[in-house]
Structure 1
Amino acid sequence: MSGTLYLIPNTLGKRDEADPLADVIPAGVQQVAAGLDYLVAENAKTARAFLKKLGETTPLARPIQQIEIQELNVNTRADALAALLAPLRAGRDGGLLSEAGVPAVADPGADLVRLAHARGIRVRPLVGPSSILLAVMGSGLNGQSFAFNGYLPVDANERAQRLRELEQRSRKSSQTQVFIETPYRNGALLEAMRQHCAGTTLLSVAVDLTLPGETIVTLPLSDWRPERIALHKRPAIFSLLAL
């Protein structure tokens, strides 16, 4: 019988040493993660950091150096996925650990989860912080209908066109459009929205969710100024609703 693939959420950023993991990762999830000896993670180094933090409150089944960690990231070839599931097909339970937040959402782990289903491996998602859902919750925008669009184009002209398309879709369907950006380009994205979207369109920006510097601001684009919120190099979620 195959093992189970547990989808293990991670924190949304580096936490202060004094902050307990239980603030964002439930105790039951910690117990499951601590009992595994096989993990697939985007980065082995950060996976070991997660295990170290986990071990401060929940004893690990094995020392960290004895826990097998395999990497899965944007550079992983599709034909390498089957090997990552081999331990589970042999009967071991394993975990897919996100770099931040929940696995397989805006995360390269989705392909592994799909293959696990195809191979008859049980998949069990575990509760944890999702920056996308937290941002929508805190935005005050339409939470009945929203779409996550990932990253927008880097090219300025293509990005402007995409923003206009998303604004039009939002206005037509009253649907909140959610997207992200590489942290050092946050300011450029905000300026592009101010230039290419209507002033009446609502924009919510959520940064450092669940962390000490957490800030959420929702305003019409006509009222947005760069000084409203410090964006440079801070993880941010952008949510847009055209009225």
Structure 2
Amino acid sequence: MSVLYVVATPIGNLEDITIRALKVMREADFIACEDTRKTRILTSKYHIKTRLIPYHEYNKKSAADAIAGGIMKGRDYVLVSEAGTPLISDPGSYLVRLCIEKGIKVVPIPGPSSVLTAISASGLNTSEFTFIGFLPKKEGKRKKLLAKLKDEKRVFILFEPGRSVEKLLADINEIMGNVKICYAKELTKIYEFIETKDVKTITEEIKNRPELTKGELTVIVDPSPIEEAD
């Protein structure tokens, strides 16, 4: 029986990939991708000819069955997400869980992660943290979860599309007060922006600079009052 390799890929800068990841991707029989178009940009840059197959939220059950079956017949598969480390706010957990249930070996190939990248430049106390990912889309559920997180003793990490980040910051300020956050945009990309300030200051800044609301955002929130956080 072969294995499933869970491979971390760049979150922006295509040079942020390990030698081991490239080797595994070249030698595997198939690469299962959340977005084949984005993965093809990476494989083309590094002249990787391995066949790409789709694995995403809408086909995960049938695709996972096919992948597990292929592994049990002796083929090696790589799982990659749209960007970064698989299984963080993506459908990869279904496939990994199925492989474990079937006794298939799962081998992680570590690398880039927007969560850890943002943490490393935040300046916040991140000795302990809670990862949340995307908040619920419905306003009531969103605010209810933020109210619950207000009592967290650790910083927590959110993903947010740029188009709705101003609403997120308004909700944080309304529910938690003027707490300190790290606002990380387009990590490792050309227009990367990372700033750690109180939420009101960052809200004013992005109102004056609308380009800061474009792209993918990682927001780290310290829910404790600023005087305590400092």
TM, length-normalised to structure 2: 0.87
Between stretches 34-43 and 186-195, larger displacement belongs to 186-195
CA distance in 2, matches of 1:188, 1:3: 47
Deviation (angstroms), 1:32:
1.6
Deviation (angstroms), 1:53:
1.5
Partner of residue 220 from structure 1, selected from 184, 189, 198: 198
In the alignment of these two chains, the number of paired residues is: 221
Deviation (angstroms), 1:202:
1.5
Partner of residue 180 from structure 1, selected from 159, 162, 172: 159
The gaps in structure 1 that reach 5 residues or longer are 16-20
Contact 2:159/2:217 (<8 A) preserved: yes
Between stretches 157-166 and 89-98, larger displacement belongs to 157-166
Aligned position for 1:106 = 89
Provide the identity percentage: 28
TM, length-normalised to structure 1: 0.83
Contact 1:40/1:70 (<8 A) preserved: yes
CA-based RMSD: 1.9
| CA distances 1:186-210 after superposition (whole Å, capped 9, x unpaired) | 22212222233212x2111111111
The gaps in structure 2 that reach 5 residues or longer are 225-230
Deviation (angstroms), 1:77:
5.0
| 1:26 equivalenced with 2:18 (yes/no) | yes
Deviation (angstroms), 1:94:
1.1
Secondary structure (helix, strand or coil) at the match of 2:11 reads coil
Contact 1:25/1:127 (<8 A) preserved: no
| 1:157 equivalenced with 2:140 (yes/no) | yes
Q: Which amino acid aligns with 1:205?
A: Y
| 1:4 equivalenced with 2:3 (yes/no) | yes
Moved over 4 A (4+): none
CA distance in 2, matches of 1:134, 1:178: 12
Partner of residue 45 from structure 1, selected from 37, 47, 57: 37
> What are the equivalent positions in structure 2 for 1:87-98 lying under 5 Å apart?
87-98=70-81
